[in-house]
Structure 1
Amino acid sequence: MFNDKSSLLETINQLDHGHHGSPVIALRENVKDKQSEVPIHQHTMGQLVFALKGGVTCQLPQSTVIVPPQCAVWIPKGVLHRVNATANAQICYLFVRPDMASLPQSGCTLSISPLVRELILDMSEQPHNYSDDLSVVRKALVLLEELGKMPIEHLSLPNPDDPRLKRIAKELFDNPADRRTLAEWGMAVAMSERSLARLFKQETGITFGRWRQQLHLIIAMHQLSEDYPVQRVADYLGYQSVTAFITMFKKSVGKPPAQYFAKLKQSES
C-alpha cells in the first residue's frame, strides 16, 4: 500500500528494470486529500490503472481516457502517458508482461468485473517475486485470462494534432462552458465553418459537437467522482439546466448520474 508518490514511483521504476519473471504484479495506492498527477512516462510492461474509488484521467498520445470507479485504463508497453487522480482516490496499478495476456494494442477503458476486481486486490497483497508459489501463479494466470474478456468502455476523447484544433481543444479544456459555435471557432482560427468541420472529423474521427460532448463527459466523470453536486457540475459545464446535463450524461453512459454512481458505490462496498 502506497501513500507517498515518491515511494510508489521508485517501486514502479524498479519493476520496469526487472519484474522477476512474474506474469503480473499489482501495487495499490491511496491518493491523499489533494489531486494527484504522475508526470508523463512509459513502462517496459503493459499497465492497467484500476480505480477502486474516485476517478482517474489518463492522457495518452492520441486520446484522453476516462477511468471512473470500478473501471480501468489499459496502457500497452512503451506508450507515453500521464495519470491524474481525484482527491482521496484509491488506485491499483497492474503491470503485465507483454507476452502473457491478450489485451488491446492501444490504450482504452475496460469495465472490470467483481471477479477481476478481487483477483487484482489479492495480487496487490502478494510479493513481487512469487514464481515459486504455484497457488499465486495460478491466480495470476486466471486474472490475465479473465482480464482479456473485459469489455471496452468507449470513454475516451481523441486528441487532435493540428495546431488550430489544439488551440480550440485547450480553450475548451480550460473553459468547458464556452458555447461558441463551429462558425465562431472558425473565425477565431481563420477557417471557414465547413473546412473546420471537415478537419475536426479528419483529425479526431468524430464531429466537433460529439467531441465537445465527450469532453464534458470526461470532466463530469472526474468531478462527480469527487462527489461534486450535479448542479455544480452542470453549471461548470455551461448547461442551461440540470435536466439538460442529465440528459447528456444518460445518453452517453446509459444511466443518469445518480444511478450510475450509486451502482459504482455498491460495487465498492
Structure 2
Amino acid sequence: MRNIPVAEVDDLDRAVLAIGTDYPHDHLLAWHEHRRAQVLYAATGVMQVETADGGWTVPTARAVLIPPATRHQVTMTGVSTRSLYIEPAAVPWFPARCRAVDVSPLLRALILAAVEMEPRYAEHGRDAAVAALLLHELRNLAPLPLDLPLPAEPRLRALCEAFWSAPDIHDPPARWCAALGVSERTLARLFRRHTGLSFAQWRQRACILRSLRYLAAGMPVTRVAVTLGYDNPAAYTAAFRTLLGRPPSAYRSTGAVPGPP
C-alpha cells in the first residue's frame, strides 16, 4: 500500500499492515497517535520524532519503534517512509517508550516486500509468511542511541529546546545557570534527574544528533564541525564515533528511494 492514511485500513483483521508514504521536503506531520504499534522506517532522508519526553533523530535506513497510543509528531527532511502498523497483541514485547533501531538487510527487504502486499493478504501463503517473519525479525533489533531526552521542568525544557534548534558544543553551563537562577551544582542535579545524563553528555548528544540532519543534506564534515563549534573535524568525528560507533560517513543519505526487492 502506498500513500494512504492508516485510518482507512486500521480495522482490517491482519496483524501487520505496511504503508509506504512520500512526503514533501521539510514536512511536519502534526501531533497524532495510532491504535497499533508502529515501526517507522526512513527509506530516505532524516526524521525527527518527538514525544512528551524526548526526541529521536532517525536517519536513512534506520527506524523508530512507536508504541500504541503514543502521541507524537514527525518532522520530515527529504523523507520517504515505509511503516508497519502492528496489532498490539502481536507484539507484547514492544517497548513502552519510543526506541530508535538499526535495520538489518533482511528486515529492510521484508519491509519493502510488505509494502507491495495487498492489505487483506491471504491468511496462508507467501504474504502471511512475510508478515510472520517480520514479527520474528523485529524482536531482534539492535537499539541505537538516537534519542535526546527532554526534561519535564518547563524552564529547563525551554532552554533545551532552544539549544536543540542551534546547538554549540562549547555553550557554557554558566549561561544556563544564569537563565535559571541556579548554581552549576543544581544544574547538574536537574539534568541528571530529568534526562538521566550529565549536562556535558546531553550537550554532546544534542550536537551529534543535530549533525545527522546536516550530513543528510550533504554538508561536508569540516563544515558540520565548524557549525557545531568543534575545534576541528577530528574532534567532531571522535565524538560522533563515541556515541554512534561509526564515522559520520556511515550516516550520509544516498537520496535514493528503494524500490521493491
- What TM-score does the superposition give when structure 2 sets the normalisation length? 0.91
Query: Alignment partner for residue 118 of structure 2, among 105, 108, 127?
Result: 127
Alpha-carbon distance in structure 2 between the residues aligned to 1:164 and 1:196: 12
1:164 deviates by 2.1
Report the equivalent of 1:170.
161
Query: Alignment partner for residue 136 of structure 1, among 123, 127, 143?
Result: 127
Task: Report percent identity of matched pairs.
Answer: 29
RMSD in angstroms over aligned alpha carbons?
Answer: 2.2
1:212 deviates by 0.9
Query: Alignment partner for residue 27 of structure 1, among 19, 40, 44?
Result: 19
1:155 deviates by 1.4
Runs of 4+ in 1 over 6 A off after TM superposition: 262-266
Report the equivalent of 1:113.
104
Q: State which drifts further: 166-175 or 194-203.
A: 166-175
Query: Alignment partner for residue 86 of structure 2, among 74, 96, 121?
Result: 96
Query: Alignment partner for residue 39 of structure 1, among 25, 30, 35?
Result: 30
User: Given that residues 56 and 68 in structure 1 are in contact (C-alpha distance below 8 angstroms), is that contact kept between their aligned partners in structure 2?
Assistant: yes
User: Given that residues 70 and 264 in structure 1 are in contact (C-alpha distance below 8 angstroms), is that contact kept between their aligned partners in structure 2?
Assistant: no
1:161 aligns with 2:146: no
| 1:127-153 C-alpha deviation (Å, 9 max, x unpaired) | 111144532112101111111111111
Alpha-carbon distance in structure 2 between the residues aligned to 1:178 and 1:254: 19
Alpha-carbon distance in structure 2 between the residues aligned to 1:261 and 1:163: 33
1:190 aligns with 2:184: no
Alpha-carbon distance in structure 1 between the residues aligned to 2:217 and 2:237: 17
1:116 deviates by 0.8
Number of residue equivalences: 257
Question: Cα 1:180–1:150, aligned 2, differ >3 Å: closer, same or farther?
Answer: closer
* Structure 2 residue matching 1:99: 3-state secondary structure: helix
Unaligned runs of 5+ in 2: none
Query: Alignment partner for residue 82 of structure 1, among 62, 73, 85?
Result: 73
1:183 deviates by 2.5
Alpha-carbon distance in structure 1 between the residues aligned to 2:56 and 2:252: 22
1:170 deviates by 2.1
User: Given that residues 55 and 226 in structure 1 are in contact (C-alpha distance below 8 angstroms), is that contact kept between their aligned partners in structure 2?
Assistant: no
Q: Which structure has the highest helix share of the two?
A: 1
Query: Alignment partner for residue 12 of structure 1, among 3, 6, 11?
Result: 6
User: Given that residues 43 and 77 in structure 1 are in contact (C-alpha distance below 8 angstroms), is that contact kept between their aligned partners in structure 2?
Assistant: yes
1:179 deviates by 3.2
Alpha-carbon distance in structure 2 between the residues aligned to 1:200 and 1:119: 40
Alpha-carbon distance in structure 2 between the residues aligned to 1:262 and 1:14: 34
User: Given that residues 28 and 73 in structure 2 are in contact (C-alpha distance below 8 angstroms), is that contact kept between their aligned partners in structure 1?
Assistant: yes
